[in-house]
Structure 1
Amino acid sequence: MDINRMQDKIIAEFEHLAAAVNKFSYFRHLKQVSNGTGSMDVADKNDENLVAGCSKKVWVIAYKEDGRIYFKADSDHSITRGMVNLLLKVYSGHTVSTITNTDLYFLHEIKLFQYLSASWLRDFLSVVQRIKSLAIVQHLEVAPQKNSPY
């Protein structure tokens, strides 16, 4: 799905919360979003895949398939997992160029930053940075060719 259509879909999911502008409802919805997207194997929940700079534990991995970058992630906190899953819905399955250049306008539209504490905001921005970095690394990695000394 086109990255902007996915953002529009997320905005539509959050529209019903506009009437009930209360933090409890908002975070309850984020917890619901935490189910599903990008489930991660237990073996991948290691220090190498931890996102630096997060107060909660967040693990993110990336892999490339047919020129597109896909992500899997998890967190030890359900609300953080929900926020990360929003990012995975938007970023996963796109090219490195799209991932690194996309304006995440849905964040403003769903008023996410209005509800985040400074700590959660740092965590969120650290995850965005990690996703973009992993996309670039995946893009630059070249599979070794047969009979190659490298």
Structure 2
Amino acid sequence: MPRKKKSSTPTGQRPLRVGEEIRHALSHILTYEMDRLDDPELYGKSVTVTEVRVSPDLRSATAFVVPLGATIEGYEAAPLIKALNRAAGYFRGMLAREVRLQFSPTIRFKLDESFDEASRIEAALHDPAVARDLERDDEDEDGEIDEEEKD
């Protein structure tokens, strides 16, 4: 009787290494091959590949991208992501030439929103009300006794 695979098995080292190799290759392809495409949505655009997550069987990959030099809040990135996904077959063919794998993975492009999330958290931490609360927590760690603890 065959064993069932666990869905929560941790990814091994190989998908991480392959993902990093694909990220480097996609960055190179998007830098030098973007102007060869006939898609006006992609012509002249610069894109940064921040991360590539590869499935454990190395057959599919999700590339997280950010438009270079633009914040996501002030830039409508949906047309760019749609255009990248339309050209995913071309990028897969170029990727097959750059990275030596038995199977070239299918690529999906997604917008990486982690930088905007990090800047939002950074702005919240620098908010005066939050900074005041953080200073109170620091005083408590220094060993000072609060009025509430005296009773």
Q: Structure 1-normalised TM-score?
A: 0.26
Which one has the largest radius of gyration? Answer: 2
Relative contact order, higher structure (CA 8 A, sep 6+): 1
